Amino acid sequence: MASDEPRRIMLDIETLGTQPGAALLSIAAVEFRPTTSSDATDRILDTFEASVSATSCQEAGLHVDAETLEWWADKPNASEQLLGGHELDQVLRDLQLFVDTDEELEVWAKSPSFDCVLLDAAYRAIGQDGTPWEYWQQRDVRTIVSLPRAPDLPDIGQKHDPLNDAKQQVALVAQMLAPLDGGEN
């Protein structure tokens, strides 16, 4: 990556609620670079994925929303999302290590007002001062999606799997940013 390019990370989470303070089920992050290549190995530099124990979330004071739990019951990947998982504090520490950088950073999500806000609440629930990035480093995939020339991309794997969702979002954002970053790679 050129030294003047920021480090870009796409986030996606699955939760047991839609408000700050909701229990997390899983977190994915994909480090990527802009490119028009359709080959994922050209745009994806690194990945992070972890499931989170709902019990550890509740022990930290995060809540489970009954309507969201019912919504999950109808999904084909419900059991893999709802069962098991690692301790919340360990997953958030691991995510922090994945994100931590001295470089300029962009944290992308669809939408940061959901993913980043709920992650901020989770970090605060375990006694940290919030996410390992600043609010001004957040970028919204929905802005890219709304552009007139944004391509329609096929689904990548199971919906509501955070790593698949993050990779799909990367495919779109990487393609749209490539010409703006000084070339089409």
**If you average pLDDT over every residue of the chain, what do you get?**
90
Q: Is the pLDDT at 1 greater than 60, yes or no?
A: no
Q: What is the identity of the amino acid at 18?
A: T
Q: pLDDT digit string (tens) for 51-101?
A: 999 999 999 999 999 999 999 988 887 888 888 899 999 999 999 999 998
Confidence of residue 139 (pLDDT cuts 50, 70, 90): very high
Q: Is the pLDDT at 157 greater than 80, yes or no?
A: no
Domain annotation for the chain: domains and CATH numbers:
7-181 (3.30.420.10)
Other Cβ atoms less than 10 A from the Cβ of 124: the count is 16
Q: What is the pTM of this model?
A: 0.90
**Percent share of the chain, pLDDT over 90:** 66
Q: Is the pLDDT at 35 greater than 60, yes or no?
A: yes
Confidence of residue 42 (pLDDT cuts 50, 70, 90): confident
The Cα–Cα gap between 162 and 75 comes to 14
Strand locations in the chain (E): 7-15, 24-32, 44-51, 105-109, 138-140
Confidence of residue 164 (pLDDT cuts 50, 70, 90): very high
What is the token pair recorded at 17? 């609620």
The Cα–Cα gap between 71 and 69 comes to 5
Q: Is the pLDDT at 159 greater than 90, yes or no?
A: no
Q: Which of 23, 16, 161, 175 is nearest to 87 (CA)?
A: 23
Q: Which residues contact 106 (CB under 8 A, 6 or more apart)?
A: 6, 7, 8, 9, 137, 139
